[in-house]
Amino acid sequence: TEACLKAIEGAGALNAFVHHTPEIALERAAAADLRLKAGDAPAMCGLPIGIKDLFCTKGVPSQAASRILEGFKPEYESTVSQNLADAGAVMLGKLNMDEFAMGSSNETSAYGNAINPWRREGADTPLTPGGSSGGSAAAVAADLCLAATGTDTGGSIRQPAAFTGTVGIKPTYGRCSRWGIVAFASSLDQAGPMTKNVRDAAIMLEAMCSYDAKDSTSADIPVPNFEAALTGDIRGKKIGIPKEYQMDGMPAEIEKLWADGAAMLKDAGAEIVDISLPHTKYALPAYYVIAPAEASSNLARYDGVRYGHRAKIDAGDGITEMYEKTRAEGFGPEVQRRVMVGTYVLSAGFYDAYYNRARRVRTLIKKDFDDVFAAGVDCILTPATPSAAFGLGEMTDADPIKMYLNDIFTVTVNLAGLPGIAVPTGTDAQGLPLGLQLIGRPWEEADLLSSAYALE
């Protein structure tokens, strides 16, 4: 813990941690020490971790990297961060992210960008660590903590993991309680660990998962010993390669990474089969209707009355002006865009044409996966991202769609509620990490982790 606190102090330029909690860390580390000495050490006893700013942490600023939550210190702890504390983990502080987890580059954060510790060979251009869990990925990659929490609504754990050479798993929807995690799109949001390797991911995921009556979508299903699944033996497993993920203009290095990954699994005894997920091409448009729709409704609660920031109002202003000014000042441009898109697709005249249609498409996407799994496929192998980490500003000056295209391989997994993991398996021509994604059957994280372990 002390070594991490020191490393964090020296790594201010990465802007990974946005709130430091050294007192809490040292207190929990001392308590962990006593438990270790007493021979009563839980799974993560004394392990220093970072917590994404989206998680409510009692008495500690929890702002979802938004101005609108300025000064908000929750009275309660999220179930997931409480589970981690109960497992002995030591919280070092809160981690940077895209505002309300909307983004793929950490550039929408009210705290400014977190920076990727990786650099292109021979170049100094600062790169994004990805997003929205960019601070978590940067902190783990730069050894500022042993692991971190992330959340994933459309790829926000897996894409930053791929951009930083770390491992990130989004479990099945319902595995981790969403209670106390600031909501973005409630039917898609899941928490998960970001770690240095697959074994750490297995250990931390197990500590994070639990049934929680306070989240109505939490699943009352036993949590297996995930670490025990890492036997290295994947003989006889069927791994599917979906042809629809073979996008036009895919960089040769991503194609090679994907082929190498398949070869590696085959060498380990798995059977590689071609599969089809025919509705894949509708996933991004469906996601970018459903996620903003849910966000616009979830973000209605930030009104300047109940939490955080309240705008100064002029004499004669009423409550409507107070709401408007607070929301105009408190939300950044990307969040405002999503609220507007979401409100539009939910409005009376357009609800059927957009929101309901997107929900029907979502059902078809889920059915594609159901069919493939019913045919005996255990896991699906795809690239995690269409490229390596990009430079700051490279995607933001164009239209927002360019940034949304980054989520092409990850959003299907959230729409279908499935577990997905990103594993670093190679580098691009400039030495930057690249990752592959494995997608598993619902509730089969153990199986998914075991295949990921073989790929690592």
447 binds ligand GLN (CB under 6 A): no
Least Cβ distance, residue 153 to ligand GLN (angstroms): 4
Q: Which residues pair with 238 in a beta bridge?
A: 271
Least Cβ distance, residue 416 to ligand GLN (angstroms): 14
Least Cβ distance, residue 18 to ligand GLN (angstroms): 17
DSSP 8-state class, residue 189: -
Whole-number Å distance between alpha carbons of 192 and 304: 30
Q: Which of 66, 81, 132, 218 is catalytic?
A: 132
Whole-number Å distance between alpha carbons of 87 and 41: 8
CA 165 to chain centre: 15
Q: Measured from the CB atom, is 185 or 234 closer to ligand GLN? A: 185
Asked if residue 217 lies in contact with residue 173, where contact means CB atoms within 8 angstroms, the answer is yes
Q: Measured from the CB atom, is 54 or 205 closer to ligand GLN? A: 54
Question: Which residue has the closest beta carbon to ligand GLN?
Answer: 156
The amino acid present at 112, given as its one-letter code, is G
Interface pick for ligand GLN out of 291, 311, 418, 432 (rule CB under 6 A): 291
3-class DSSP state of 92: strand
Name residues contacting ligand GLN, limited to 35-94 (CB under 6 A). none
Q: Other C-beta atoms within 10 Å of 323: how many?
A: 18
Least Cβ distance, residue 104 to ligand GLN (angstroms): 4
Q: Is 156 a catalytic residue?
A: yes
3-class DSSP state of 168: strand
Stretch that binds ligand GLN, among 10-18, 70-78, 149-157, 372-380 (CB under 6 A): 149-157
Least Cβ distance, residue 150 to ligand GLN (angstroms): 9
132 binds ligand GLN (CB under 6 A): yes
Can you say whether the dihedral through the CA atoms of 167, 172, 177, 181 is positive or negative? Answer: positive
How many chain residues touch ligand GLN (CB under 6 A)?
A: 13
Q: Measured from the CB atom, is 167 or 372 closer to ligand GLN? A: 167
3-class DSSP state of 225: coil
Whole-number Å distance between alpha carbons of 426 and 280: 25
Asked if residue 448 lies in contact with residue 177, where contact means CB atoms within 8 angstroms, the answer is no
156 binds ligand GLN (CB under 6 A): yes
Interface pick for ligand GLN out of 48, 154, 242, 440 (rule CB under 6 A): 154
Whole-number Å distance between alpha carbons of 428 and 436: 13
Stretch that binds ligand GLN, among 4-12, 119-127, 153-161, 230-238 (CB under 6 A): 153-161
407 binds ligand GLN (CB under 6 A): yes
Name residues contacting ligand GLN, limited to 199-258 (CB under 6 A). none
Least Cβ distance, residue 130 to ligand GLN (angstroms): 9
Name residues contacting ligand GLN, limited to 89-128 (CB under 6 A). 101-104
DSSP 8-state class, residue 14: G
Q: Is 132 a catalytic residue?
A: yes
Q: Measured from the CB atom, is 154 or 442 closer to ligand GLN? A: 154
Q: Other C-beta atoms within 10 Å of 441: how many?
A: 20
Q: Which of 104, 133, 156, 296 is catalytic?
A: 156
Residues 6+ apart with CB under 8 A from 102: 108, 132, 184, 295, 334, 335, 338
Alpha helix positions (H), 38-92 = 79-86
> How many CA atoms lie less than 13 Å away from 252 in the CB half-sphere?
1
Q: Measured from the CB atom, is 184 or 369 closer to ligand GLN? A: 184
Whole-number Å distance between alpha carbons of 174 and 192: 11
Least Cβ distance, residue 135 to ligand GLN (angstroms): 13
Q: Measured from the CB atom, is 64 or 147 closer to ligand GLN? A: 64
Whole-number Å distance between alpha carbons of 227 and 198: 9
Q: Measured from the CB atom, is 270 or 335 closer to ligand GLN? A: 335
190 binds ligand GLN (CB under 6 A): no
47, 68, 201, 222, 368 from 41: Cα distances, Å? 11, 40, 19, 22, 44
332 binds ligand GLN (CB under 6 A): no
Q: Measured from the CB atom, is 136 or 218 closer to ligand GLN? A: 136
Q: Is 237 a catalytic residue?
A: no
Q: Measured from the CB atom, is 156 or 218 closer to ligand GLN? A: 156
Q: Which residues pair with 333 in a beta bridge?
A: none
Which residue in 372, 352, 332, 346 sits closest to 131, CA to CA?
332
Residues counted in the chain = 456
425 binds ligand GLN (CB under 6 A): no
- Residue numbers annotated as active site: 52, 132, 156
Residues contributing to the site for ligand GLN (CB under 6 A): 101-104, 132, 152-156, 184, 291, 407
